[in-house]
C-alpha cells in the first residue's frame, strides 16, 4: 500500500490537536505523533488471512514523507525513520525533469557493496532488450533469416530474458519472490552468455545455428536458474549459478579454439 503523504496527514493531525488545545510538542505536532505513525506502519508484515481455507499473506506499506527544505530533523521524518529504519531518498533534480520514480540510482553504494557490477549488468540488459525492439520491425519485413549472426544472438538472448528472467510465477515457492543475490547471479549469467556468443562469432567461423547447437544445454540450464528455490539458502544457489557462469566461459572458449 502506498500512503501519499504521511507528511500532510501529520500536518492535519497537528491542526486537529491545536483545535483541541492539546499540549504541543516539537514544531507544534502532538506528543503522540510517533505512536500514531507506529500504529500505521506496524500493520505491515506477514499475516494469517481470515476465513477458509487457511492462508498466509503479507502487507507492504510505503509511506511518502516530504521533509520541509530537505531537513531530516523534521519531527515527521525523524519519527518515521525511527520506526521503519530504511528509506528511498528521491532526487529533486530528477523530479523537476519529470523522471519518476525520481530515485537517483547512481548515488547508491548498495549495489557495489553487495553485488559488484550489477548496475553495468542492468544497463547491458536494457541495451539488449532495446536492440531486440529495434530489430522486431526488420524481422517483420525481411524475416529472421536475413539478419546478421550478432542480431540473431541478440534476439535469442532477449527472448531468454523476457521468458525466463522477467516473467515470474507469483504462485510458486521458487519464484514468488527472488532474493537480490539470485537476481544478480542470473543476470550475470545471461549477459556472460550474450558476450561470449558475440565474441565466438566474431573470432571464429561460427554461425548462430552452430552456437545454438553447441550450447543448447547451456541455454536449457539458463532457463532453469529461476527454479532454484530461495529456501535452499544463499550459499547453495550462489555456488550453482557461479558454476554455470564458469561453464559458459569454458564452453565458448573451447568453441573458439
Helix, strand or coil, per DSSP, at residue 205: coil
State in words which class domain 112-256 has.
Answer: mainly alpha
What is the predicted pLDDT for the residue at 108? 60
Distance CA(97)–CA(196), nearest Å, equals: 38
C-alpha cell of 18?
A: 491545536
Helix, strand or coil, per DSSP, at residue 229: coil
Task: Write 103-107 long-range contacts (CB < 8 A, 24+).
Answer: none
What is the predicted pLDDT for the residue at 105? 64
DSSP of 236-255, one letter per residue?
HHHHHHHHHHHHHHHHHHHH
What is the predicted pLDDT for the residue at 218? 94
Backbone dihedral region of 24: left (phi > 0), alpha (psi from -120 to 50 degrees) or beta? beta
What is the predicted pLDDT for the residue at 172? 87
Tell me the per-residue pLDDT of 129-173, one tens digit each, with 9 for 90 and over.
999 999 988 888 888 888 888 999 999 999 999 999 998 887 888
- Please tell me whether the peptide bond between 51 and the residue prior to it is cis, using omega within 30 degrees of 0: no
CA angle 119–125–126, rounded 5-degree value: 95
The DSSP bridge pattern shows strands 55-59 and 62-64 to be: unpaired
**Span between the terminal Cα atoms of the chain, in Å:** 55
**pTM (two decimals):** 0.65
What is the predicted pLDDT for the residue at 110? 64
Tell me the per-residue pLDDT of 185-200, one tens digit each, with 9 for 90 and over.
999 999 999 999 999 8
Whether 6 and 41 have beta carbons less than 8 Å apart is answered as no
The residues spanned by each domain of the chain are: 2-107, 112-256
- Classify domain 2-107 by CATH number: 3.40.50.300
Residues of the chain predicted below pLDDT 50: none
Which residue is it, cell 520514480?
101
Amino acid at each position: 500500500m502506498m500512503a501519499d503523504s504521511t507528511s500532510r496527514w501529520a500536518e492535519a493531525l497537528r491542526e486537529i490537536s491545536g483545535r483541541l488545545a492539546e499540549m504541543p510538542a516539537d514544531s507544534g505536532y502532538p506528543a503522540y505523533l510517533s505512536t500514531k505513525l507506529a500504529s500505521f506502519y506496524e500493520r505491515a508484515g506477514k499475516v494469517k488471512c481470515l476465513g477458509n481455507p487457511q492462508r498466509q499473506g503479507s502487507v507492504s506499506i510505503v509511506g511518502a514523507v516530504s521533509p520541509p527544505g530537505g531537513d531530516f530533523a523534521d519531527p515527521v521524518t525523524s519519527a518515521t525513520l525511527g520506526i521503519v529504519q530504511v528509506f528511498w531518498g528521491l532526487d529533486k533534480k530528477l523530479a523537476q525533469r519529470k523522471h519518476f520514480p525520481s530515485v537517483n540510482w547512481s548515488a547508491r553504494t548498495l549495489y557495489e557493496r553487495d553485488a559488484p557490477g550489477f548496475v553495468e549488468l542492468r544497463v547491458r540488459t536494457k541495451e539488449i532488450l532495446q536492440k531486440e525492439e529495434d530489430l522486431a520491425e526488420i524481422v517483420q519485413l525481411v524475416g529472421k533469416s536475413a539478419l546478421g549472426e550478432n542480431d540473431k544472438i541478440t534476439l535469442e538472448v532477449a527472448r531468454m530474458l523476457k521468458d525466463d528472467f522477467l516473467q515470474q510465477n507469483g504462485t510458486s515457492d521458487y519464484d514468488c519472490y527472488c532474493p537480490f543475490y539470485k537476481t544478480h547471479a542470473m543476470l550475470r549469467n545471461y549477459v556472460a552468455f550474450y558476450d561470449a556468443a558475440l565474441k565466438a562469432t566474431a573470432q571464429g567461423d561460427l554461425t548462430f545455428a552452430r552456437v545454438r547447437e553447441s550450447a543448447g544445454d547451456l541455454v536449457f540450464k539458463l532457463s532453469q536458474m529461476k527454479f532454484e528455490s530461495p529456501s535452499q539458502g544463499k550459499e547453495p544457489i550462489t555456488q550453482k549459478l557461479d558454476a554455470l557462469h564458469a561453464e559458459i566461459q569454458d564452453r565458448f572458449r573451447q568453441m573458439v579454439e
